């Protein structure tokens, strides 16, 4: 069973007003769909429509159980606590988090509803995989209701250092909620370490590498089904929890196949032509979010134009910024700031025949994105903090020509794996400018060498391997076997 904030479907309305459901294009769906079909899988989540009570339904062989949310709960649980409290807090307080008790109350109530739905629908001894920061209380709630279940949790965003995490008024409740799981997955080694430190500081539990010892009867009131009970060094009974990194990836072979299609390659050539056939196309692809460092890359690009290091006739920047959380005030302010910056740079430096920045505030189909990846000479991933950043991996997987340069923030989880990118600190504008100039002038031979190494990494560690590794750890947990070696066969290096 999968439990996530959203079901893996989107509602589509036809021209005649008839509504239907279609599978979401997300990578998580692609990773888990084969497993769900072969294992009689069930997916619990919100259908994305407020104030509607929908009956369970089936699509593409997967049973879906919708969890209803009222408009008020969407505002308080999702837009409020999840995205205006937890999101900024977990991303290094790039924006100030807001701590409102009514938001927390809604978060608790909605998490309980998700847990209740999962508990009702799970077979005896089932494996339940809970996803992401919106549902951090669900593991403990599930364990209390159904101690027979094997429970996994994966956190798709960073887990912050204790000095930041400790600001959360409900810090203990979140830790206790997560410790209800048998296996807790994080994107990076640093995230798993931050979580273990928070456990030691707030609960005083012993940790041994990825193993956390949770005393039975303290935060684990159920006593009927403990799969891995041992004695602590103090002699008490403890339940062991595995907390370690499982870096997520993409369906790399799908991107490779799409990038090999003649029509998509032709579209890439058309994009270059539409942009005036500049010598260098730089590309940014992001949700419009303050964690992505869009303003930093615009500042660096504008300064390169201002000091004459690049010319608008030779270099253009395409920035795709898909709409995100536009009902949250912080995001509305960010959109205004970005659009003002783009307008100023274009007004100062664009010519009649060449635009400095092509700014696109909407999403695109996957085929169009692959064409953009093929058209772009330089990919800019300048996140100020990112759990992984799959755009970096999509760009690499799409470059079947072994060309292109990836500029990648060291604060994105992808930097642990993609070491042949040009790694940058996005706060260092001079360093970012230097990396842009280096990417523009990089010889073909070096570009190819770097891209081949990046592609080997992404094609090897794809999303199927990620999901298999986590589910293997969860299965072994069900048999009381916590692996001390990383299931992917390597340890991500922490910068």
Q: Which residue has the tokens 């938001």?
A: 103
pLDDT at 193: 97
User: Which of 290, 293, 304 has its CA nearest to residue 409?
Assistant: 293
Helices 138-145 and 101-121: crossing angle in degrees, nearest 10, is: 40
d(CA 87, CA 94): 10
Bigger pLDDT: 250 vs 17? 250
Does 91 score more than 50 pLDDT? yes
CA distances from 89 to 157, 270, 289, 383, 384 (A): 11, 42, 14, 16, 13
Q: If DSSP codes are grouped into helix, strand and coil, which group holds residue 3? A: strand
Buried b vs exposed e over 161-189: b needs ≥16 C-beta within 10 Å?
ebebbeebebbebbbbbbbbbbbbbbbbb
CA–CA distance, 111 with 170 (Å, rounded to integer): 14
User: Among residues 111, 23, 108, which one has the least CA distance to residue 64?
Assistant: 23
**255-297: pLDDT as tens digits:** 999 999 999 999 999 999 999 999 999 999 999 999 999 999 9
* 10, containing H or E segment: strand 9-13
C-beta separation of 158 from 188 below 8 A: yes
pLDDT category, 484, cuts 50, 70, 90? low
Long-range Cβ contacts of 192-199 (<8 Å, 24+ apart):
192/159, 192/243, 192/244, 192/245, 193/494, 194/159, 194/160, 194/161, 194/162, 194/165, 195/159, 195/243, 196/243, 197/161, 197/162, 198/159, 198/162, 198/165, 198/166, 198/171, 199/175
Whether the per-residue pLDDT at 5 is higher than 90: the answer is yes
Which pLDDT band, with edges at 50, 70 and 90, does 221 fall under? very low
pLDDT tens digit string along 409-435? 999 999 999 999 999 999 999 999 999
- Dump pLDDT digits (tens) for 298-311: 999 999 999 999 99
Residue 51 exposed, middle or buried by CB count within 10 Å (0-12, 13-18, 19+):
exposed
Length of the chain: 495
Any idea which of 1-10, 217-226, 294-303 has the lowest mean pLDDT?
A: 217-226
For residues 374 and 265, is the Cβ–Cβ distance under 8 A?
yes
**For residue range 133-175, what is the model confidence (pLDDT) as tens digits?**
999 999 999 999 999 999 999 999 999 999 999 999 999 999 9
Highest mean pLDDT: which range of 23-27, 37-41, 318-322? 318-322
CA angle 160, 162, 164 (to 5 degrees): 65
CATH superfamily of the domain spanning 2-248+465-478: Glycogen Phosphorylase B; (3.40.50.2000)
Q: Which H helix or E strand runs over 280? A: strand 280-287
User: Among all chains, which residue has been given the structure tokens 């969407």?
Assistant: 74
pLDDT digits 0-9 by tens, 383-400: 999 999 999 999 999 999
Quickly state the pLDDT bin for 491 (edges 50, 70, 90). very low
As beta bridge partners, residue 284 has: 319
Rounded CA gap, 360 and 335, in Å?
12
Dihedral of the CA atoms 409, 415, 419, 424 (nearest 10)?
A: 10
Q: What stretch(es) of the chain map to CATH 3.40.50.2000?
A: 2-248+465-478, 253-460
Is a pLDDT exceeding 70 seen at residue 26?
no
Strands 315-322 and 280-287: parallel
Residue 263: how many other CB atoms lie within 10 Å = 10
Residues 20-28, mean pLDDT to the nearest whole number: 74
The pLDDT of 217-224, averaged and rounded, is: 51
Determine the pLDDT at residue 62.
Answer: 85
Q: What is the pLDDT of residues 397-410, one digit of tens each?
A: 999 999 999 999 99
Position 483 pLDDT exceeds 60:
no
Q: What is the pLDDT of residue 25?
A: 64
Topology at the third CATH level for domain 253-460: Rossmann fold (3.40.50)
Tell me, what's the pLDDT at 380?
Answer: 98
**β-pairing, 422-424 with 280-287?**
unpaired
Rounded Cα distance between 99 and 174, Å, is 14
Q: What is the mean pLDDT of residues 198-203?
A: 98
- Residue 438 burial (CB count, 10 A): 14
Q: Rounded CA gap, 236 and 213, in Å?
A: 10
Calculate what percentage of the chain has a pLDDT beyond 70: 92
pLDDT > 90: percent of the chain: 79
- The conformational region for residue 204 under phi > 0 = left, psi -120 to 50 = alpha, else beta, is left
């Amino acid at each position: 069973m999968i439990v996530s904030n959203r079901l893996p479907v989107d509602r589509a309305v036809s021209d005649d007003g008839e509504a239907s459901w279609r599978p979401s294009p997300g990578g998580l769906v692609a990773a888990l769909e084969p497993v769900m079909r072969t294992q009689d899988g069930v997916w619990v989540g919100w259908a994305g429509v407020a104030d509607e009570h929908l009956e369970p339904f089936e699509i593409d062989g997967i049973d879906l159980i919708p969890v209803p949310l009222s408009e008020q709960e969407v505002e308080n649980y999702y837009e409020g606590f999840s995205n205006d409290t937890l999101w900024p807090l977990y991303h290094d307080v790039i924006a100030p988090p807001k701590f409102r008790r009514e938001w927390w109350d809604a978060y608790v109530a909605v998490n309980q509803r998700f847990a209740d739905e999962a508990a009702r629908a799970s077979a005896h001894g089932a494996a339940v995989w809970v996803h992401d920061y919106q549902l951090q209380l669900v593991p403990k709630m599930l364990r209390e209701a159904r101690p027979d279940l094997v429970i996994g949790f994966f956190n798709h965003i960073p887990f912050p250092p204790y000095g930041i995490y400790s600001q959360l008024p409900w810090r203990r409740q979140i830790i206790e909620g997560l410790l209800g799981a048998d296996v807790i997955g994080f994107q990076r080694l640093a995230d798993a370490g931050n979580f273990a430190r928070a456990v030691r500081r707030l609960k005083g539990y012993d940790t041994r590498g990825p193993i956390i010892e949770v005393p039975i009867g303290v935060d684990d009131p159920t006593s009927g089904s403990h799969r891995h009970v041992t004695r602590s060094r103090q002699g008490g009974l403890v339940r062991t929890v595995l907390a370690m990194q499982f870096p997520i990836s993409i369906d790399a072979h799908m991107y490779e196949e799409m990038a090999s299609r003649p029509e998509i390659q032709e579209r890439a050539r058309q994009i270059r032509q539409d942009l005036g056939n500049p010598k260098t196309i730089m590309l940014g692809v992001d949700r419009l979010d303050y964690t992505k460092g869009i303003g930093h890359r615009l500042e660096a690009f504008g300064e390169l134009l201002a000091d004459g290091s690049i010319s608008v006739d030779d270099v253009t920047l395409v920035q795709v910024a898909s709409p995100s959380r536009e009902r949250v005030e912080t995001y509305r302010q960010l959109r205004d700031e970005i659009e003002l910056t783009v307008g100023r740079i274009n007004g100062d430096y664009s010519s009649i025949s060449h635009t400095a920045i092509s700014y696109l505030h909407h999403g695109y189909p996957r085929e169009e994105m692959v064409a953009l990846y093929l058209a772009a000479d330089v990919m800019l991933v300048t996140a100020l903090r990112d759990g992984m950043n799959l755009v970096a991996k999509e760009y690499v997987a799409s470059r079947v020509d072994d060309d292109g340069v990836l500029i990648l923030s060291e604060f994105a989880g992808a930097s642990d794996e993609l070491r042949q990118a040009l790694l940058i600190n996005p706060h260092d504008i001079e360093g970012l400018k230097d990396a842009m100039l280096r990417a523009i002038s990089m010889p073909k031979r070096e570009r190819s060498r770097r891209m081949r190494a990046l592609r080997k990494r992404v094609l090897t560690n794809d999303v199927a391997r990620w999901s298999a590794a986590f589910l293997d750890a969860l299965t072994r947990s069900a048999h009381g076997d916590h692996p001390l070696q990383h299931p992917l066969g390597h340890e991500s290096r922490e910068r």
